[in-house]
Structure 1
Amino acid sequence: MFCIFLRHIVFLHFLLFSSILQAAGIVTANADNYRELLSRLEPGDTLLLQPGVYKKGLPVHQLHGNKDKPVIIMGPTNGPLPVFSARPGHNTISIINASYIVIRNLELDGQGIAVDGVKCEGNADWAHHITLENLVIKGHGNNQQTVGISTKCPAWNWVIRNNIILGAGTGIYLGNSDGNAPFVGGLIEHNLIKDTMGYNLQIKHQNTRPEIPGMPSEPSVTIIRHNVFSKEKGAATAPFARPNVLVGHWPVKGNGSKDTYEIYGNFFYQNTTEALFQGEGNIALYNNLFVNDHGDAIRIQPHNDIPRAIHVFYNTVIASETGVSIISGQGSENYVQHVSANVIFASNPIMAKSQESNSIGKREDAVNYLVKPFAPLGAMDLYPKVEKMKSQAVDTTNFRVFKDWDIDFNGRKRNEHSRGAYGGEGINSGWLPQIERKP
């Protein structure tokens, strides 16, 4: 009697689980049938790809979810990832006129072929609300123009999260070189991008923003946070040398002209041929760690336009040459540009007209103020020593409009006396910088 009852329970659980899968629209696919199933996906469906080698690419063309029911294309949460192998003449994940799509848990192997890993194609009209997460992108180092993740059409409300990009020509390249493919309102977080020839990340400048239904018209923010950007190896030399990260200007007038970059909680590490960061436009750069034994750390300077509203605060910087420089073009005097409450050890700590409440010194002085500034990665500790970093309270008036302005590199509330990326002194109980995804 008990066995009959148990069989009934098991059968009921099976029916319940089957109904949940059916309601959720989970479609299981393999390397043989996924292309056929891909074209049938509807809002709320999940295409669950089994481990294996996929050789026919992933065309996400005219595919749409909606705000409440995105289309999800994913590999298993645990175990081996489905591997998409590059094909000559075809970008591996190709996106055209798609919206509310989530792509996660895949490996993209470029095999040294001159194609991009993920490409929002230049012949697309737009692509919005696209999430790319937990992708491993490797083998895309054919040349400097081979890119891990690229957008070449108007794109907005993208999330690029928890990805690993190894040894690409360029890690992430958002926008077009002519300024006519704006990337708007994005979130780029918790990625590891290392050993690229060119940029780890570049977001291109923007011309007059096109009028496209659904594209944000109110001032928006693109957030770049908690990433690891390293060019310790493989960087191209002059004239092809590039910073780890470069962000271009927003439209100089009209829609988008008041958009802002909020860039915080990142670890920028080494560049043998260029600065770690370069930017123009409206930028808030805060709560980051910068280490460059070969040259400059932060350069704010004209590129395709001028620096506008610039706020550089609460960063910890170690550089062999210049720590922070703000070179203003004509017209920049109309904007607030300040360097405040940073900890900077460099041959030339700061070049900027407006600077206050910074703790500065020569690069070699860092050992007197930080716990282990010159130790190998994993042991390197840029946390302030207790007895050395006491100082007066910081005027935070200009910081308060920015997201998480008072949350330090370790994710903890900072005190009003703190300088640099960390809000405390003494023992660092947080993550020590290394070349892995920041937890």
Structure 2
Amino acid sequence: MRRVVCATWLCLLAGTATATDYRANAQDYRDYVRRLQPGDRLLLAPGDYLHGLPLRNLSGLADQPIIIEAAQPGDAPHFIARPGANTVSLADVRYLVLRHLELDGRNQPVDAVKAEGHSHYADFITLDHLYIHDHAASQQNVGISTKCPAFGWVIRGNRIERVGTGLYLGDADGSDPFVGGLIEANRISHTLGYNLQIKHQASRPAGHVDRHDTVIRYNVFSKQDALPGPQARPNVLLGHVPLSGAGSRDRYLVYGNLFLHNPSEALMQAEGRVALYDNVFINSEGDAIHIQPHNDVPRDMVIFSNTVLASGTGIQVRRAAESPYRQRVIANVVAAAAPLRDGEAAYNLISPYRADLLDIAVSELTPHLLAQRMKTARLPQSLVRELAAYPGWKATTYPGARVSSALQDTLDASWP
């Protein structure tokens, strides 16, 4: 295929690199991958791609990433899994963008996107509007997986369904941490195991010693058809950051998400350092939020301005004996069989679980639960000012979550 050169003669006179658009199809695309340089784009024609997308030793720049995307966003290239190889395989790569691709697992025992365990790094990777499906040969098959140090990822606007695990970030032994990520506006459903797990972190690689927050916002996490028994997992599980030294002050900021139904585990489980706010949790078959030891203990946490509807426990905090850390549970609206269990609770509005509340639109749930209590539920202005320091909080003088337009966009979004 011909290439389209985007640079002008002025760029050549100045000695700057030439950014190039390459157009390729299912027969010749791999010939172009190895020549990609900073700023280049590989535009893929519609069709069935049978030989995967191995990306090795490719590095863009912060202001000139390498981009691989659909030539026609409404007609995504269709990558079909093959035995023995992960479909998108990343090793020693930086500043890559993958956009508008379909990854069809056909239930082969492989992952859709994997930063491979033999890689030294996979940093500043953006996965944008991928449609990942049918990677469910077992719970071990993952939509997006990192098994090497992964810094600065953006996982945005993806639809992931019918997979073993949606996102599995980090390694089981706490090595190869996922640091400073942004996970936003994804819709993850019909997973055998977790919708999302970020593993605990034993240490921090050299070069990333500053504090970094990982942000999880405006996603839909749904496990309404989860399996009981050995495969039972929460929708989301967050492990701890390094216990001391570099990275020990990192946080997870989890806000503006919708967590839906899980018949065998809680919707959310976390330890470590987490701020959990402005989320809606709905579970007609069990518990909503479990704060509890996993590989370490819950550290300083704040759980505020959430709306919870759960037939089991709403918010449960299990802290280690004589722990010096605080888990504050503030200004939540909770309708559950057992609304609150432990934690430093204040200004929460609680009521019994009622199955008829499931019929109320997500955006109307908080106003409905507040309707009869408005006069007594107002929050102190000092607390409102304190909570306003958290990014993205929908500041309000009343408890509970507000459904943002960004979350509504996730609910309304369509994919090819």
| In 1: Cα distance, 2:406 partner to 2:83 partner | 44
Residue 35 in structure 1 maps to residue 30 in structure 2: yes
Q: How many residues align?
A: 398
| In 2: Cα distance, 1:389 partner to 1:241 partner | 37
Shift of 1:352: 1.8
Shift of 1:402: 2.1
Residue 219 in structure 1 maps to residue 211 in structure 2: yes
| In 2: Cα distance, 1:330 partner to 1:97 partner | 43
| In 1: Cα distance, 2:27 partner to 2:406 partner | 45
Distance 1:45 1:431, change over 3 A: closer
Residue 352 in structure 1 maps to residue 336 in structure 2: no
Residue 388 in structure 1 maps to residue 372 in structure 2: yes
Shift of 1:335: 2.0
What TM-score do you get using the length of structure 2 for normalisation? 0.91
Partner residue in 2 for 1:284? 275
Report which stretch shifted further, 389-398 or 246-255. Answer: 389-398
Distance 1:207 1:431, change over 3 A: closer
Map 1:368-407; keep pairs closer than 5 Å: 373-375=357-359, 381-385=364-368, 387-390=371-374, 391-394=377-380, 395-396=383-384, 398-405=386-393, 407=394
| In 1: Cα distance, 2:272 partner to 2:135 partner | 30
User: Which of 178, 200, 211 is matched with 1:205 structurally?
Assistant: 200
- Structure 1: gaps of 5 or more residues: 1-17, 368-372, 408-413
Partner residue in 2 for 1:370? none
User: Which of 229, 234, 239 is matched with 2:221 structurally?
Assistant: 229
Residue 134 in structure 1 maps to residue 129 in structure 2: yes
Shift of 1:353: 3.4
SS in 1 for 2:228: coil
Map 1:69-218; keep pairs closer than 5 Å: 69-211=64-206, 213=207, 216-218=208-210
Maintained 8 Å contact 1:74/1:104: yes
Shift of 1:68: 1.1
Shift of 1:238: 1.6
Shift of 1:437: 4.6
| Amino acid aligned to 1:293 | S
Distance 1:431 1:199, change over 3 A: closer
Shift of 1:146: 0.4
Distance 1:433 1:136, change over 3 A: closer
Shift of 1:420: 0.3
Report which stretch shifted further, 311-320 or 383-392. Answer: 383-392
| Amino acid aligned to 1:220 | H
Maintained 8 Å contact 2:219/2:410: no
Distance 1:330 1:379, change over 3 A: closer
Shift of 1:236: 2.4
| Amino acid aligned to 2:365 | L
Distance 1:94 1:387, change over 3 A: closer
| In 1: Cα distance, 2:284 partner to 2:296 partner | 29
Maintained 8 Å contact 1:228/1:438: no
| Amino acid aligned to 1:375 | D
Shift of 1:80: 1.2
Maintained 8 Å contact 1:191/1:437: no
Shift of 1:379: 7.4
User: Which of 239, 248, 257 is matched with 2:248 structurally?
Assistant: 257
Compare CA radii of gyration and give the structure with the larger one.
1
User: Which of 413, 417, 420 is matched with 2:400 structurally?
Assistant: 420
- Structure 2: gaps of 5 or more residues: 9-17
| In 1: Cα distance, 2:410 partner to 2:102 partner | 22
Distance 1:331 1:93, change over 3 A: farther
Shift of 1:19: 6.4
Percent identical pairs in the alignment equals 46
Shift of 1:210: 2.7
Report which stretch shifted further, 69-78 or 132-141. Answer: 69-78
| In 1: Cα distance, 2:349 partner to 2:237 partner | 26
Distance 1:145 1:45, change over 3 A: same
| In 2: Cα distance, 1:305 partner to 1:39 partner | 43
Cα deviations by residue, 1:146-176 (Å, 9 ceiling, x for unpaired): 0000000110100000000011000000001
Shift of 1:421: 0.2
Maintained 8 Å contact 2:266/2:289: yes
SS in 2 for 1:198: coil
SS in 1 for 2:31: helix
Partner residue in 1 for 2:15? none
Maintained 8 Å contact 1:287/1:316: yes
Distance 1:432 1:354, change over 3 A: same
Maintained 8 Å contact 2:379/2:399: no
| In 2: Cα distance, 1:154 partner to 1:397 partner | 37
Maintained 8 Å contact 1:96/1:120: yes
Shift of 1:94: 0.2
User: Which of 317, 320, 333 is matched with 1:326 structurally?
Assistant: 317
Report which stretch shifted further, 381-390 or 167-176. Answer: 381-390
| In 1: Cα distance, 2:365 partner to 2:406 partner | 11
Maintained 8 Å contact 1:338/1:352: no
| Amino acid aligned to 2:391 | K
Cα deviations by residue, 1:252-307 (Å, 9 ceiling, x for unpaired): 00111110000000000000110000000000000000000111100000000000
Cα deviations by residue, 1:182-229 (Å, 9 ceiling, x for unpaired): 000000000000010000000000102232x4xx21111000000000
